Amino acid sequence: EVLAADGLVALPGFVDLHTHLREPGREDTETIATGSAAAALGGYTAVFAMANTDPVADNAVVVEHVWRRGREVGLVDVHPVGAVTVGLRGEKLAELGTMARSAAGVRMFSDDGLCVFDPLIMRRALEYTRALGGVVAQHAEEPRLTVGAQAHEGEVAARLGLTGWPAVAEESIVARDCLLAQHVGARLHVCHVSTAGTADVLRWARNRPAGVAGRMAEAVVSAEVTPHHLLLTDERLTDYDPVNKVNPPLRTGGDAEALRRALAEGVIDCVATDHAPHAVQDKDCEWAAARPGMLGLQTALSIVVRTMVETGLLDWRGVARVMSERPAEIAGLPDQGRPIAVGEPANLVLVDPDARWTVRGAELASIAANTPYEGMELPARVVGTVFHGRPTSWDGKVRH
Ligand code: NCD
Ligand code: ZN
Ligand code: ZN
């Protein structure tokens, strides 16, 4: 019995700026249809499909395919994110304008799972995106500092004999791109912030005196944090279970606490899932060979409630801000993330704050089942989602 008799909370439909839907290329782990179902069940009415598909979403044909397929499925607005460079770890700027003018109307461009080594390419991406009225979502990884990295570089990794991914690999590239964005007056969105030091960099960048950088007045820096970086720490690595392997790695308890505070303060704007489905053989293997990433769409609300509401850091108004309003603003979606307007088709989610449920990966809508919350009892449950005026999920079931 999921439905409570009363006490349901209504929020604007959630907006996920960071979802890996795996189509095209890895439809054995997720498709736009199964990922949309997971989104509807998780309370989402819009998701941003990351560009590291196969083929890479670095051109109009791929982004239009993802956009069309999302419309056909019709459970959630699927906005394709364009890759900033041609190909994975590309050295050449992609045709951002062609993707922007395509039917998909791409306005968010990312290096997620890709990486922009060259600061000049990043500068050009920021300038080009600015001209298109869009935003660059940066993956917050300096790859030359993370070669062979498997875990947060710190005491736990040293004890377990795992190679480390240092905090500086994230903090240094975030600082570089904040400076570049302010120099050219562009919008930069920092993906999956995972360290206390990155929160400090964001605070510093935002508080620089006006005029210190070329076009600082026009620049906007925003940032997201994942549910797993709010809750889980590198102590989870003790049994070498690859379900806990993720980019960026699970950090220390001190980092998680700093991220929760930064989210409450607004230094980090929003929560994004980084929903990353993987095949059984890519997770049920030895630690070093496993792929990084974990499912997130159907557990995000519950983890936010556990880490932010139960701790008194956010009230329900704050949950709406970090799950709906701020991500809709960052992405420039006028019809999402707002309180429900009378007489308009609604994008909303009904939540039962008193419900408890136990996570079973096999019961989630995704094809993949790689959840780090297997068997955990979590607070709060999505009772129903309404997408452009139409119910897309009710009582744990998708409504087509
Ligand atoms: C992402 C994926 O699986 O696509 N994995 C992850 O751990 N976040 C890619 C990435 O962001 O590195
Ligand atoms: Zn990433
Ligand atoms: Zn990602």
Determine which residue's CA is closest to atom 6 belonging to ligand 1.
293
**Residue 88 C-alpha to ligand 2 middle, in angstroms?**
13
From the CA of 347, how far away is ligand 1's center (Å)?
28
Distance between Cα 275 and ligand 3 center (Å): 7
Residues whose beta carbons lie less than 5 angstroms from ion ligand 2: 112, 139, 247
- CB of 373 closer than 8 Å to CB of 226: no
- Ligand 1 contacts (CB < 6 A) are 20, 52, 112-113, 246-247, 274, 276, 292-293
User: With 90 as the cut, is the pLDDT of residue 102 above it?
Assistant: yes
Q: How far is CA 273 from CA 12, 227, 249, 277, in A?
A: 17, 6, 14, 11
Over residues 29-51, the pLDDT tens digits come to 999 999 999 999 999 999 999 99
220-238 residues labelled b (16+ CB within 10 A) or e (exposed): ebbbbbbbbbbbbbbebbe
Query: For residues 114 and 51, is the Cβ–Cβ distance under 8 A?
Result: yes
Amino acid making up residue 324: S
User: What SS3 class is residue 205?
Assistant: helix
Nearest-CA residue for atom 4 of ligand 1: 276
Q: Which of 29, 112, 193 to mutate to test ligand 1, by most ligand atoms within 8 A of the CB atom? A: 112
**Distance between CA atoms of 195 and 331, rounded to whole angstroms?**
24
Instruction: Kindly tell me if the per-residue pLDDT of 5 is higher than 60.
Output: no
Tokens 């994230």 belong to residue: 170
Kindly name the residue from 16, 58, 77, 274 that is annotated as catalytic: 274
Which ligand 1 atom sits closest to the C-alpha of 247? 7
Residue 1 has pLDDT above 70, yes or no: no
Helices of type H across the chain: 32-41, 60-73, 96-101, 119-131, 155-160, 167-184, 196-206, 227-231, 253-265, 280-283, 300-304, 316-320, 326-331
- Mutate which of 26, 89, 274, 287 for ligand 1 pocket (most atoms within 8 A of beta carbon): 274
Active site residue 274: yes
- Whether the per-residue pLDDT at 332 is higher than 50: the answer is yes
- Exposed / middle / buried, residue 253 (Cβ in 10 Å: 0-12, 13-18, 19+): exposed
Atom of ligand 1 nearest to the CA of 139: 11
- pLDDT tens for 188-211 read 999 999 999 999 999 999 999 888
CA torsion 363-368-372-375 (nearest 10°) is 20
3-state secondary structure 37-82: HHHHHCCEEEEEECCCCCCCCCCHHHHHHHHHHHHHHCCCEEEECE
pLDDT at 3: 47
Distance, C-alpha 119 to centroid of its chain:
24
* φ, ψ at 124 (rounded to 5°): -65, -40
Higher pLDDT, residue 38 or 338: 38
Please report which confidence band the pLDDT of residue 213 belongs to, taking 50, 70 and 90 as the band edges. confident
Q: What's the mean pLDDT in 111-122? A: 84
Instruction: Look up the pTM and report it.
Output: 0.97
DSSP conformation class of 162: P
Distance from residue 232's CA to the centre of ligand 2 (Å) = 17
Q: Residue 2's pLDDT is what?
A: 43
**pLDDT of 138 strictly over 60:** yes
User: How many CB atoms neighbour CB 206 within 10 A?
Assistant: 16
pLDDT tens, position by position, 52-101: 999 999 999 999 999 999 999 999 999 999 999 998 888 899 999 999 99
ipTM: 0.98
Q: Which ligand is nearest to the CA of 290?
A: 1
Q: How far is it, in rounded angstroms, from Cα 378 to Cα 299?
A: 8
| Position 286 pLDDT exceeds 90 | yes
Task: Tell me which ligand sits closest to the C-alpha of residue 229.
Answer: 1
CA nearest ligand 1 atom 12, residue: 113
Closest CA to 57 of 17, 16, 21, 15: 21
Determine the residue of 28, 52, 114, 246 to mutate for testing ligand 1's pocket, defined as the one with the most ligand atoms within 8 A of the Cβ atom.
52
User: Which residue do the tokens 């690859």 mark?
Assistant: 242
